[in-house]
Structures are given as C-alpha cells and as structure tokens.
Amino acid sequence: MKDSLKIMRMDEQELVRQIQDGDEMAFAEIVKIYKDKIVNFLCKFTGDYQKAVDLSQETFMRVYFKAHKYRPVAPFSSWIYAIASNLAKTEMKKMRKYAVISLDEVQNRVPIEAYRKNPPDSGLTRNLKKALDSLHPRYRIPVVLKDIEGFSQEEIAEIMKRPVGTIKARINRGRNYLKIELEKASGVENSFTKKEECQDGCA
C-alpha cells in the first residue's frame, strides 16, 4: 500500500513537472484525478454544489498558472487541497461573518464516517450536514480533511500551514461541537417521536 502510494505521488509530481513545461495533457490528467475529490471537499463548506464547482475550477486554474511554485518536498495532494482550502475560507468570509467558537478540548470522536455511509435522506446525514454548515471554518476544514478526506494530522498541518498541535486541538474541538449538535438534534427528534407515539396511543 505504501509503495503504491509512493508511486502515485511520484507520478503526480511528474505530471506537475510536465505542466510546468506547458503540457496541457498532463494538466487534464491532474483534473481527472482530483476533480470529484475537490468538488466534494468544497461542497462540504459552501453547501452549494454549483458554487463548489466554480471554486474547483478556480482551484485548477491556480494549479495550472502557479504550477511553477510547486516544490516536490510535500505531496501534490497537500498543495492542491491547500489551494482549495484557502479559496473555501475566502468564499465563506464573503458569505457571512462568523462568531468565534471557543470550546474546551476533548477526546471524544464523532463517527463522522457515517456521513458517507448513510443514504442522502437519512436523519443522521441531514443533521451532520447542518452541524458542519454551522461549524467555524477554523475547525470545519481540519475535521473534514481528517475524518472525511483521510489526511493525517501532519498532512493537514502542511495544508493549513499550522503546527500539528494546533491541528490536533482544532480537530478535537470540531468533533466535540459536532457531537453536541448531533446529540441536540437526536434529542429533538426523539421528543417528536415520543409525542407522536403518545398521541397514537392516547387516541
């Protein structure tokens, strides 16, 4: 697995080198590899598929025109996600002003993988999407990169240009926020269910 990942990274770095030489076919290959991943990643932040598509196009345009700035000291995936993350943060600032969320660091982990496993219309998916939408980008970006995109804390630190300790704290805080919000949503749903059962039983 590690060998195949290493080969993939080498192939991507070679593609970037070709892009630096003006090879448009190499650029098309990079787009093919990352298009869906970047669109899905950006969609987690905007909640708007079309806006995510537009931002992904801008991401790839920056990859093409700034390819000469890429240095193969880090995986290409870290570089392209860093570009997408910066665009996402800028877009979210335009959309609304955020209040700073201050939460104590905890070790509880939210089973965010359920976001992918549950059907689109499931209550858990809806609640998790709503919780993610309300989560400050400072925490949302590292949580999505870690628990949905599968990046390591070290890779996220490289993407966001922050110390690993800071990334770890933000992931923990983000997970705790999501856990609290999901518990609240679950409590509301259970409350409605009990009322409906009572009404049915008392009729």
- 42-62 confidence digits (pLDDT tens): 988 777 888 899 999 999 999
Average pLDDT, the chain: 77
Q: What is the pLDDT of residue 9?
A: 56
Confidence at 84, pLDDT banded by 50, 70, 90: very high
Confidence grade of residue 171 (pLDDT, cut at 50, 70, 90)? very high
Which H or E run contains 133?
A: helix 123-134
CA 105 – CA 156 distance, rounded (Å): 18
Task: Name residues whose C-beta falls within 8 Å of residue 9's C-beta, 6 or more positions apart in sequence.
Answer: 75, 76, 77
**DSSP per residue, 20-41:** HTT-HHHHHHHHHHHHHHHHHH
* CATH 1.10.10.10 residue spans of the chain: 98-203
Q: How far is 22 from 30, CA to CA, in rounded Å?
A: 13
Residues 134, 138: Cα–Cα separation, whole Å:
12
Residue 135's CB is within 10 A of a number of other CB atoms, namely 23
pLDDT value at 2 more than 70: no
- The ranges of the chain annotated as CATH 1.10.1740.10 are 1-82
Amino acid 126: pLDDT: 76
- Select the more confidently predicted residue: 203 or 85: 85
Residue 153 vs residue 113, higher pLDDT: 153
Mind listing the pLDDT tens digit for each residue in 85-95? 999 888 877 76
**Per 3-state DSSP, what percentage of the chain is helix, strand, and coil (rounded to 5)?**
75, 0, 25
pLDDT at 121 over 80: no
Give 100's pLDDT tier (boundaries 50, 70, 90).
very low
State yes or no: pLDDT of 194 exceeds 60: no
- Residue 54 near residue 18, CB atoms below 8 Å: no
Question: In the CATH scheme, what is the code of domain 98-203?
Answer: 1.10.10.10
pLDDT value, residue 96: 55
Q: pLDDT class for 101, splitting at 50, 70, 90?
A: very low
CA distances from residue 81 to 28, 78, 125, 158, 176 in whole angstroms, order as listed: 17, 5, 24, 10, 24
Query: How confident is the model over 163-187, as a mean pLDDT?
Result: 89
- Domain 1-82, CATH number (from 2.60.40.10, 3.40.50.150, 3.90.1070.10, 1.10.1740.10): 1.10.1740.10
Out of 12-26, 69-83, 124-138, pick the least confident: 124-138
Whether 190 shows a pLDDT value over 70: the answer reads no
